[in-house]
C-alpha cells in the first residue's frame, strides 16, 4: 500500500478496560502464495491478520526450529468487512503508537515526536487495534474514499478504507456515521479533519 | 567509539548506596545488583573479580538477605499506605493474603527489580558480543547514528617529475548506519509462593537471572543471526576473507590478509571466536607434519577443550543460548554455530556488529494481579534493542568448522 495522504485514526470512546481493548504488534504487507512482502501502512488503514509473523532471532538455530510469534502478526489489507461476525471483529486498524520513522538515504531514523497519523514504515513492527462493535472511532478524511454524509452514512470497508453508501452492506462489519460533521484533529498547524463513526455488524 | 561495558570492569559505584532518594530503597537496589552480578559474572567471565570473595562474604547469605529485605520493604510500603504497621517477619508477609492483591506491593517490587537489572543488563549484553559487537545507548524514541569511515587506503600512482598533480583523485567516502531500537516483550505468570520465596529458596541471582535469561537468548539470537546472515554479503565479508572449510592453509590466509587489511603487526591483536565444536577442530590440518605438530597439543586440548592459541591468534569460546521452549525437545541453540570469526581486539573502527539499547532502563518490568484473572501474578517485561551488521572493522570468517 502506498502512502495515503491525510490519514489518521483515534479511538473515540473507550472503557479503558485492558481486556476489551486489543492492541497487538505486527507488520503490514501482502502475500503471494506463502511469501509475505512488507509494505508501508497508513494510519487507520484497516487490515486483517493473515499469519503469525516469524519470531526474529532464531532463524539460525541448530537444530533448526520453526518459531512463530504467539501474537505478532503479518497483516494484509482488509478487502471488506464480511469476515466479522462478533464483537471481536478480527479486523484491525493501524494505530502505531511509536515515534515517526522515516528512511533517509537508505537508513531508518526515528524523528520527532508527532503522534497523530503516523505511517508505519515497510518491514517495521507497529501497533494494530482491533475494531470492536459498538465503539466509536475517528478516521481522517484520507481514510474514506469519499466524505460520509447524512444520506451516505453507512461506511463499508473497501481495501482498507471506508466507502460511504446509502445502505448497509449485506453482512459483516461496517461503520455508521451519525452526521455530526467534519471534525478537526487537535494538532497544531494541521488542517487535518475526520469523521467519527461507530463500528456495527450488519 | 562506544564505551565497552564489561562485567569485569563494573565500577564499584554501581554497588554503592545512592545518596539521593529513599535510602532503604537504594540499599536494597545496591544489594540486589551485587547479588545478581556475583551470580551472573562468573558465568560470563571466568576471571570475574568477586567482590564478595574479596570481603569473605558468602553469596548465598547475601542473596537471601537481599530477597528478604526486598519483600519486607515492599510489604512495609504497601501496608503503610493504608495505615497498617510494617510486618515483623518474612512469614508474616508470606501469609498476608492482602499483599498478594496489593498494587503498591507489586509496584514497589517492579521498581526495585528494574533498578537492579537495568545496569547489569547493559553489561551482560555487552559481554555477550565480546569484541564482535559494540553496544550503544539511545534515548527512548531516538536514533543512534553511526558515521562509518572508509577503511580504504589511497592508491599511489606512477608519476613523473612535473606530472604529480595529474594523478587521479582518491576519495574516502564515509557511510551512515542508524540504529532504531525495536520493542521486544515477554509476559509471564508467577504464583504468590514463588514471588515471596516460599518455594524457591530465595536465591536473588537466580530470580534476576531468570528474568533476564530469555532476553539474553533473544539478544544472542538477534546478534548472531544478523551476523551469520551478513556473512553471505560480500560487502560485509569479502570473498578473500570468507573460507568454507577449516585447514591450516585457510587459517594462515585468513589471518595474514586480515592483518594486512587492518594494518596491524602482531597476531596477538587478533582473536578468534567460535563455539566449542568449532574451536575443537582448530588443530594442524593439511600441513606436511600434522601428526607431529598435533602430538604436543593433546594435553592442552583435553584440559581446555581446545588449543588456546593457533598461529598466534587467541581462541575464545562463544557460548550459544538455548532457544526457549526447546529444552525438553530438540535442545536447539542460537549462536555462531559452525562459524569461526576472526577479528581484531579493539583498535580502529567499529566492531563488526553494532547494537543499541534504550538508555536508562533497557528492560522495564511491570507486575500485577488484575490481568491474570486468577490472582497469580503477571510479569510483563519490555525491552528495546536493535543490531546491525556494519563490518567497518573487517573480520575473517571460516565456515563449516567442527
Domain residue spans of chain B: 235-353+390-398
CA angle B301, B303, B307 (to 5 degrees): 30
| Domain range for A66 | 9-142
Residue of A nearest to B336 (CA): A60
Indicate whether A192 pLDDT > 50.
yes
CA-CA distances (angstroms) from residue B160 to A47, B148, B155, B170? 69, 35, 16, 18
Between strands A23-32 and A68-77, the pairing is parallel
Q: Determine, yes or no, domain membership for A135.
A: yes
Query: Apex CA B95: angle with CA B89 and CA B98, to 5°?
Result: 110
pLDDT of residue B2: 42
The torsion angles phi and psi of B66, rounded to 5 degrees, stand at -60, -45
CB contact under 8 A, B334 and A110: no
Q: Is the pLDDT of residue B401 over 90?
A: yes
* B225/A62 CB distance under 8 A: no
Considering A43-47, B145-149, B286-290, B325-329, the range whose residues carry the highest mean pLDDT is: A43-47
Least confident range from B146-155, B207-216, B265-274, B333-342: namely: B207-216
Comparison of pLDDT for B216 and B329, the residue scoring more: B329
The answer on pLDDT for B5 being more than 70 is no
User: Is the pLDDT reported for residue B201 higher than 70?
Assistant: no
Nearest to A101 among B180, B225, B330 (CB): B180
B177, closest residue in chain A (CA to CA): A107
Of the partner residues B183, B325, B337, the one whose CB lies closest to the CB of residue A62:
B337
CA neighbor of B20 nearest in space, from B10, B30, B11: B30
CA distance A31 to A53: 12
Residue A73, domain member (yes or no): yes
**Looking at CA atoms only, how far is residue A128 from chain B in angstroms?**
14
Distance from CA of B322 to the nearest CA of A (A): 9
Q: Touching check for B202 and chain A: CB below 8 Å?
A: no
A172 assigned to some structural domain: no
Contact A183, A193 (CB under 8 A): yes
DSSP category for residue B311: T
Q: What is the pLDDT of residues B125-136, one digit of tens each?
A: 777 777 788 888
**Interface check B42 vs A, CB under 8 A:** no
Interchain proximity B221–A99, CB inside 8 Å: no
Has residue A32 been placed in a domain? Answer: yes
The verdict on residue A185 lying in a domain is no
- What is chain A's mean pLDDT, rounded? 92
Helix axes B23-44, B103-129, angle to 10 degrees: 30
Reply yes or no on whether the pLDDT at A198 is more than 50. yes
Residue B363: pLDDT band (50, 70, 90) is confident
Mutate to test the interface with B, among A60, A65, A114 (most CBs of B within 10 A): A60
Interface contact A63-B141, CB threshold 8 A: no
Query: Does B187 contact A at CB distance below 8 Å?
Result: no
Establish if B176 touches chain A: CB-CB under 8 angstroms. Answer: yes
Residues of B in contact with A127 (CB under 8 A): none
> Does residue A175 lie in a domain region?
no
CA distance, residue B348 to nearest chain A CA (Å): 23
Query: How far is it, in rounded angstroms, from Cα A81 to Cα A97?
Result: 24
pLDDT(B1) > 50: no
Q: State yes or no: pLDDT of A146 exceeds 90.
A: yes
**How much is the average pLDDT of B220-236?**
90
Facing residue for A57 by CB, picked from B178, B218, B337: B218
The pLDDT score that the predictor gives to residue B42 is 73
Give dist(CA A178, CA B340) in Å, integer: 66
Domain membership flag for residue A50: yes
Q: What is the number of domains present in chain A?
A: 1
Q: Which residues of B touch A124 (CB under 8 A)?
A: 182
Facing A110 at nearest CB: one of B142, B220, B228: B142
Burial B47-62 (b: 16+ CB within 10 A, else e): ebeebbeeeeeebeeb
Distance CA A54, CA A130 (A): 21
Q: What is the pTM of this model?
A: 0.83
CB B294 within 8 A of CB B283: yes
Closest chain A residue by Cα to residue B181: A110
- Assess contact for B192 and B157: CB atoms under 8 A: no
User: Does residue B387 sit at the A interface (CB-CB below 8 Å)?
Assistant: no
Residue A150 counted as domain residue: no
Mutate to test the interface with A, among B141, B278, B329 (most CBs of A within 10 A): B141
Cβ–Cβ of B180/A67 closer than 8 Å? no
Per-residue model confidence (pLDDT) at position B11: 65
Residue B90 grid coordinates: 518474612
Is the Cβ of B182 closer than 8 Å to some Cβ of chain A? yes
Which of B178, B180, B323 shows the shortest C-beta gap to A61? B323
Amino acid at each position: 500500500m502506498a502512502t495515503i495522504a491525510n490519514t489518521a485514526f483515534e479511538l473515540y470512546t473507550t472503557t479503558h478496560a485492558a481486556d476489551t481493548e486489543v492492541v497487538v504488534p505486527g507488520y503490514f504487507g501482502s502475500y503471494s502464495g506463502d511469501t509475505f512482502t512488507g509494505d508501508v501502512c497508513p494510519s487507520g488503514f484497516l487490515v486483517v491478520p493473515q499469519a503469525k509473523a516469524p519470531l526474529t532471532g532464531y532463524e539460525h538455530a541448530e537444530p533448526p526450529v520453526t518459531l512463530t510469534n504467539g501474537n505478532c502478526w503479518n497483516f494484509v489489507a482488509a478487502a471488506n468487512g464480511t469476515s466479522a461476525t462478533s464483537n471481536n471483529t478480527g479486523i484491525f486498524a493501524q494505530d502505531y503508537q511509536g515515534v515517526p520513522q522515516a528512511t533517509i538515504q537508505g537508513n531508518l531514523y526515528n524523528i520527532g515526536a508527532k503522534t497523530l497519523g503516523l505511517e508505519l514504515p515497510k518491514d517495521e513492527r507497529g501497533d494494530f487495534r482491533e475494531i470492536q462493535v459498538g465503539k466509536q472511532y475517528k478516521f481522517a478524511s484520507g481514510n474514506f474514499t469519499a466524505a460520509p454524509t447524512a444520506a451516505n452514512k453507512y461506511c463499508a470497508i473497501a481495501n482498507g478504507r471506508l466507502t460511504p453508501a446509502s445502505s448497509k452492506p449485506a453482512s459483516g462489519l461496517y461503520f455508521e456515521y451519525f452526521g455530526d460533521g467534519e471534525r478537526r484533529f487537535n494538532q497544531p498547524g494541521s488542517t487535518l479533519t475526520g469523521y467519527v463513526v461507530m463500528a456495527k455488524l450488519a | 567509539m562506544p564505551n565497552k561495558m564489561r562485567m569485569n570492569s563494573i565500577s564499584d559505584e554501581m554497588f554503592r548506596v545512592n545518596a539521593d532518594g529513599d535510602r532503604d530503597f537504594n540499599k536494597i537496589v545496591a544489594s540486589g545488583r551485587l547479588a545478581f552480578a556475583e551470580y551472573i559474572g562468573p558465568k560470563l567471565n571466568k576471571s570475574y573479580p568477586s567482590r564478595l570473595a574479596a570481603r569473605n562474604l558468602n553469596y548465598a547469605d547475601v542473596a537471601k538477605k537481599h530477597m528478604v529485605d526486598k519483600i519486607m520493604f515492599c510489604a512495609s510500603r504497601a501496608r503503610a499506605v493504608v495505615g497498617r504497621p510494617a510486618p515483623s517477619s518474612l512469614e508474616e508477609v508470606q501469609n498476608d493474603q492482602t499483599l498478594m492483591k496489593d498494587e503498591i506491593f507489586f509496584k514497589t517490587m517492579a521498581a526495585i527489580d528494574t533498578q537492579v537489572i537495568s545496569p547489569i543488563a547493559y553489561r551482560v549484553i555487552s559481554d555477550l558480543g565480546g569484541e564482535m559487537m559494540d553496544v550503544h545507548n539511545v534515548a527512548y524514541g531516538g536514533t543512534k547514528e553511526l558515521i562509518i569511515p572508509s577503511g580504504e587506503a589511497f592508491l599511489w600512482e606512477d608519476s613523473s617529475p612535473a606530472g604529480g598533480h595529474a594523478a587521479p583523485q582518491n576519495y574516502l567516502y564515509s557511510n551512515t548506519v542508524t540504529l532504531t531500537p525495536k520493542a521486544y516483550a515477554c509476559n509471564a505468570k508467577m504464583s504468590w509462593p514463588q514471588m515471596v520465596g516460599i518455594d524457591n529458596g530465595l536465591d536473588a541471582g537466580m530470580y534476576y537471572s531468570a528474568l533476564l535469561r530469555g532476553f539474553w537468548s533473544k539478544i544472542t539470537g538477534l546478534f548472531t543471526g544478523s551476523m551469520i546472515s551478513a556473512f553471505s554479503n560480500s560487502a560485509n565479508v569479502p570473498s578473500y576473507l570468507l573460507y568454507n572449510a577449516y585447514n591450516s592453509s585457510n587459517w594462515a590466509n585468513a589471518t595474514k590478509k586480515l592483518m594486512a587489511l587492518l594494518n596491524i603487526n602482531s597476531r596477538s591483536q587478533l582473536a578468534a571466536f567460535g563455539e566449542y565444536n568449532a574451536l575443537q577442530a582448530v588443530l594442524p590440518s593439511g600441513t606436511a607434519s600434522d601428526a607431529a605438530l598435533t602430538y604436543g597439543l593433546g594435553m592442552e586440548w583435553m584440559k581446555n577443550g581446545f588449543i588456546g592459541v593457533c598461529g598466534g591468534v587467541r581462541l575464545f569460546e562463544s557460548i550459544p543460548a538455548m532457544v526457549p521452549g526447546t529444552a525438553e525437545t530438540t535442545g536447539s541453540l542460537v549462536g555462531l554455530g559452525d562459524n569461526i570469526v576472526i577479528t581484531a581486539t579493539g583498535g580502529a573502527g567499529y566492531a563488526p556488529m553494532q547494537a543499541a539499547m534504550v538508555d536508562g532502563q533497557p528492560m522495564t518490568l511491570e507486575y500485577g494481579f488484575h490481568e491474570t484473572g486468577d490472582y497469580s501474578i503477571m510479569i510483563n517485561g519490555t525491552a528495546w534493542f536493535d543490531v546491525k551488521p556494519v563490518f567497518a572493522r573487517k573480520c575473517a570468517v571460516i565456515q563449516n568448522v567442527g
